[in-house]
């Protein structure tokens, strides 16, 4: 079953990449497909995933380099490190994340984020049949389909009290074995504003200048022959654009008594600009995807989290429609400067088998004594 799953995933990945690199000749092989670079939309940190990714207004640590670079200004240690590993589709697809954030001074912070989403050991059966028409299983090889994202962030507090801004420069590398690869670049920008009465507001502009991926295909003569004999067109080098996405967010924290117990909630609205998507609100130009997260905690020691996202109307067998949502739950523990978070998340389907366990770490480090301060 796992081998079958690998073949299915491989087929999906390859079909998406190969088709997205082809376009009408009048467009000079440049297109802006839906769901481009979607591996960068999965999210990092079990803290956020447990709240259905509704954290753009409240994010305030190393993970802000991904969610909203303006939140990096809340990093109060010399170095903050974030780590996460997760697996999807019964372990077929693996997702890894590393984040670093360094506080330069009281007003500015820099950050680095590295993400890898990949399916490894995919069987390559294009050479399964030899020149004599015989099936030879020894001709089966394997390859990896992997997506990499490298984010370089900078954030700064502005003279207006409570207002911070940040920006991220993204380098994207995508590779499908030796058959295809691409390099891409893009920019994100974000802002956060905190009021005196515990309200927080966030704005995130993903791919604000549009992010591009330049695809190059290197198929050998035998693989090209397989494509032609099976009725498939040969893929052409091309440019894939990821259009901007706007995220608006609002957050509020409530104190429950005087014993350190609190509750908080945030609602984010993702506004995509690549046309009509299957969301609760949509037009021919924009689609609106709301998601909500809540948290109940005791001081900074323990937190319980929940959230809903991916609200979609799904057509049933009788042609009726029903609202389908993605539920998420999580828990967080903090011991001094060590944060351990867990999330139990679905991928948007009602099937229990699609749930995943996510664990992430966040560590705050003081400046080593051996490093002298330079002026």
Among the residues of the chain, which ranges form H helices?
2-20, 46-49, 64-67, 221-229
pLDDT-based confidence at residue 107 (cuts at 50, 70, 90):
very high
> 367 near 108, Cβ under 8 Å?
no
Q: Check pLDDT > 70 for residue 22.
A: no
Q: Check pLDDT > 60 for residue 15.
A: no
More confident residue, 283 or 192: 192
Task: For the chain, give the percent of residues with pLDDT over 90.
Answer: 51
Residue 25: per-residue pLDDT: 39
Q: What is the pLDDT of residues 233-272, one digit of tens each?
A: 777 788 888 999 999 999 999 998 878 899 999 999 999 9
Q: Check pLDDT > 90 for residue 68.
A: yes
Highest mean pLDDT of the ranges 99-108, 219-228, 342-351? 99-108
pLDDT-based confidence at residue 374 (cuts at 50, 70, 90):
very low
pLDDT-based confidence at residue 347 (cuts at 50, 70, 90):
low
Q: Check pLDDT > 80 for residue 96.
A: yes
pLDDT-based confidence at residue 346 (cuts at 50, 70, 90):
confident
pLDDT-based confidence at residue 30 (cuts at 50, 70, 90):
low
> 296 near 330, Cβ under 8 Å?
no
More confident residue, 197 or 372: 197
Exposure of 51 in the CB half-sphere (CA atoms within 13 A):
29
Distance from C-alpha of 312 to C-alpha of 314, rounded to nearest angstrom: 6
More confident residue, 232 or 23: 232
The average pLDDT across 318-344 equals 89
Distance from C-alpha of 212 to C-alpha of 21, rounded to nearest angstrom: 12
Residue 326: per-residue pLDDT: 85
Q: Check pLDDT > 90 for residue 313.
A: no
Distance from C-alpha of 71 to C-alpha of 162, rounded to nearest angstrom: 11
Task: List all residues 6 or more positions away from 75 whose beta carbon is below 8 Å from its beta carbon.
Answer: 60, 61, 62, 64, 101, 102, 103, 109, 111
The average pLDDT across 279-285 equals 87
Q: What is the pLDDT of residues 127-162, one digit of tens each?
A: 777 677 778 777 778 888 999 999 999 999 999 999
Q: What is the pLDDT of residues 167-214, one digit of tens each?
A: 999 999 999 888 889 999 999 999 999 998 889 999 999 999 889 899
Closest CA to 103 of 83, 64, 77, 65: 77
Task: For the chain, give the percent of residues with pLDDT over 70.
Answer: 87
Residue 1: per-residue pLDDT: 38
The average pLDDT across 301-305 equals 96
Distance from C-alpha of 235 to C-alpha of 169, rounded to nearest angstrom: 29
Q: Check pLDDT > 80 for residue 118.
A: yes
The average pLDDT across 50-71 equals 96
Residue 29: per-residue pLDDT: 64
Residue range 2-365 forms a domain whose CATH class is: mainly beta
């Amino acid at each position: 079953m796992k081998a079958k799953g690998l073949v299915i995933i491989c087929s999906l990945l390859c079909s998406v990449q190969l088709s997205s690199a082809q376009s009408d000749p009048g467009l000079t092989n440049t297109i802006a497909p839906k769901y481009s670079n979607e591996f960068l939309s999965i999210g990092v940190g079990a803290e956020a995933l447990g709240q259905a990714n509704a954290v753009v207004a409240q994010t305030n640590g190393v993970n802000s380099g991904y969610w909203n670079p303006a939140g990096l200004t809340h990093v109060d240690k010399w170095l903050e490190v974030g780590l996460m590993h997760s697996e999807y589709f019964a372990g077929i697809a693996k997702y890894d994340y590393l984040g670093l954030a360094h506080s330069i001074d009281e007003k500015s912070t820099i950050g680095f984020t590295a993400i890898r989403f990949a399916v490894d050991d995919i069987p390559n059966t294009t050479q399964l049949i030899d020149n004599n028409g015989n099936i030879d299983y020894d001709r089966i090889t394997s390859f990896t389909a992997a997506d990499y994202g490298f984010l370089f962030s900078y954030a700064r507090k502005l003279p207006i009290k409570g207002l911070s801004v940040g920006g991220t420069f993204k380098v994207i590398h995508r590779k499908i074995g030796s058959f295809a690869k691409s390099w891409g670049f893009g920019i994100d920008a974000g802002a956060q504003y905190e009021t005196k009465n515990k309200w927080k507001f966030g704005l995130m502009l993903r791919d604000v200048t549009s992010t591009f991926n330049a695809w190059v295909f290197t198929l050998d003569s035998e693989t090209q022959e397989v494509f032609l004999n099976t009725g498939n067109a040969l893929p052409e080098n091309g440019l894939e654009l990821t259009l901007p996405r706007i995220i608006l967010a609002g957050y509020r924290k409530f104190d429950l008594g005087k014993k350190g117990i609190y509750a908080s909630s945030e609602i984010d609205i993702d506004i995509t600009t690549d046309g009509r998507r299957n969301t609760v609100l949509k037009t021919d130009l924009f689609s609106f995807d709301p998601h909500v997260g809540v948290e109940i905690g005791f001081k900074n020691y323990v937190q319980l989290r929940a959230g809903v996202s991916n609200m979609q109307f799904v057509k049933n067998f009788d042609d009726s429609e029903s609202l389908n949502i993605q539920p998420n739950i999580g828990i967080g523990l903090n011991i001094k400067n060590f944060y351990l978070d867990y999330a139990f998340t679905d991928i948007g389907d009602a099937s229990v088998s699609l749930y995943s366990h996510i664990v992430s770490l966040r560590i705050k480090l003081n400046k080593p004594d051996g490093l002298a301060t330079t002026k």
